[in-house]
Every structure is written in structure tokens, then in C-alpha cells.
Amino acid sequence: MTKTYPKASRPSLDNVSVSIEKGEFVFFIGPSGSGKSTIIKLLLHEVTPNKGRVVVNGKDVTSMRSWKRPHFRRSIGCVFQDFRLLPNRTAYENVAFALEVIGKTKAVARRVVPEVLELVGLGGKEHRYPHELSGGEQQRVAVARAFVNRPLILLADEPTGNLDPDTSIEIMRLLDRINRTGTTVVMVTHDSNIVNQMRRRVIEIESGRIVRDQARGVYG
């Protein structure tokens, strides 16, 4: 498929075809502006391709109406470089917020949230505010928020971009553990260390084209 942004001289993604199986762990790598982030946006239905199709969880979302988007997004979890936590809410409240705004009751949140915070290794820090947590811990809250709804896919857009190497490794272990529960993980990154350590499928993009697609690959 092809995606060209308005006013762009060349397509952001040019005739790219990728298939990711359920339960896979995939890295998208490549220099800035290569089109990696466009992949995330296409998967989130934030943008639509000019040519070709996007199929997520067996559903063709290419021409999905925008009012269906909210429901579609509930099957996808998202983690970003800048965490995107609500500063005036505690770790618990941040995760519970994601549940409550999609219609889950407080009772459900009380049952599920401590569980997922425990899973990401934040047991005992539920009532800290983001500014009272380290960068790595904040990202754990973000991962908990993305995963609390048990999505089929977890998208991670440079999740270790703001973290030091040791903390990055911890976050990667966490994503790996989530992947082992059967969740597909798609991660966009610059971080060669991490890619080399994980030895998972690597898709390299340059100027909107796939230049490499390698199982158990390295950063190269």
C-alpha cells in the first residue's frame, strides 16, 4: 500500500506490503522520516492509505467510517516515547481512566487495575503521581494502561526513546512478557542495542520502502 501526505513531495510509504501474524513481535527500524511512524498511524486508523488496504485483526479498516474508530481502537494498545500520562492522576487513576472512559464500571477497575499494575512491576506504587515516578516507572504505567483492556495488538512508538539503557531493557522485558501472553507487539525504534538483544523479526524502512525483512534480525 502507499501513503502520501498532502503537500509531501514523495510518498511516506511507497508500495509497502507487510504481513504480521498474530502473536508476533516485530521491530520497524529506519532513520527519521523513513515512514516508520506512518505505519503506526495507519494501524491506528489515524490516517488512511492512498492506495492499497490495511487489514487489522482480520478486518479491513481501510475505508472504515470514523465513527467506528473508537470501538476499533479498544482492540489496540498504544505506548509512546512521551508516556502521555495524565499528570494530575495517580498511576492507579491513569489506568482506571482508560477503563472508565470506555464504559467499564469502577468495580471492574478495582479488580483489574491492581492486577495489571502488579504485572508491570508497580505493585505498591499505585497511588504515586507521575512526577513521583521515574521515567521507566512512568512508561510502565503507560504499558499497564495500554494492556489493561487486553488488546490483541500492542503498538509501541519508540517506547525507550526517553529512557536510559538499563531501564530500556526492563521495559523490553515487560513487552516481551506481554508478547508471550499472545499479544502481537509492533514496535518502532531507533535503539540498535535493543533490537540486537531481542533478536526478533526486523523490518527496515528507508525512504518509504522496505529494504529488509528478517526473522531474528539485528539492527544492521
Partner 1 sequence: MRMKYVLSEVLVGLWRNVTMTIAMIITMAVSLFMLGGSGLLYQKVGDMKDLYYENVQVSIFLKTDAPEDQRTALQAKLDADPLVKDVEFVDKDQAYKRFQQMYADAPDLVNAVKPDQLPESFRITLNDPQQYKQIYDQYKTAEGIDTIVDQSKLLDKVFGVLTGIQNGALALAIVMAAAALLLVANTIQVAAYSKRREVAVMKLVGASNWFIQAPFVLEAVVAGLIGSILGLLALIGVKTLAAGSSMAALEGLITPISWSEIFLTFPLMAAVGGLVSAITAWVTLRFYLRV
Beta bridge partners of 154: 77, 185
Site for partner 1 in 146-205 (CB under 8 A): 149
**Whose CA is closest to 78, among 54, 104, 98?**
98
Beta bridge partners of 206: 209
Q: Which is nearer to partner 1, 7 or 67 (CB)?
A: 67
- CA atoms of 69 and 150, how far apart (whole Å): 18
Return the residue matching grid coordinates 521507566.
136
Please tell me whether residue 59 binds partner 1 under the rule CB under 8 A.
Answer: no
CB of 32 to partner 1, least distance (A): 22
Site for partner 1 in 65-124 (CB under 8 A): 67, 69-74, 78, 84, 86-87, 97-98, 100-103, 105-106
- CA atoms of 77 and 84, how far apart (whole Å): 13
- CA atoms of 112 and 96, how far apart (whole Å): 9
Q: Which is nearer to partner 1, 86 or 211 (CB)?
A: 86
CB of 13 to partner 1, least distance (A): 22
Number of residues near partner 1 (by CB under 8 A): 21
Q: Which is nearer to partner 1, 32 or 66 (CB)?
A: 66
Stretch that binds partner 1, among 16-24, 49-57, 64-72, 172-180 (CB under 8 A): 64-72
Site for partner 1 in 5-34 (CB under 8 A): none
Binder among 145, 186, 188, 203 for partner 1 (CB under 8 A): 145
Q: What region does 52 belong to: left with phi over 0, alpha with psi -120 to 50, or beta?
A: left
Three-state SS for 5? coil
State the SS3 of 63-95.
CCCHHHHHHHHCCEEEEECCCCCCCCCCHHHHH
CB of 182 to partner 1, least distance (A): 20
Q: Which is nearer to partner 1, 14 or 100 (CB)?
A: 100
Contacting positions for partner 1 (CB under 8 A): 67, 69-74, 78, 84, 86-87, 97-98, 100-103, 105-106, 145, 149
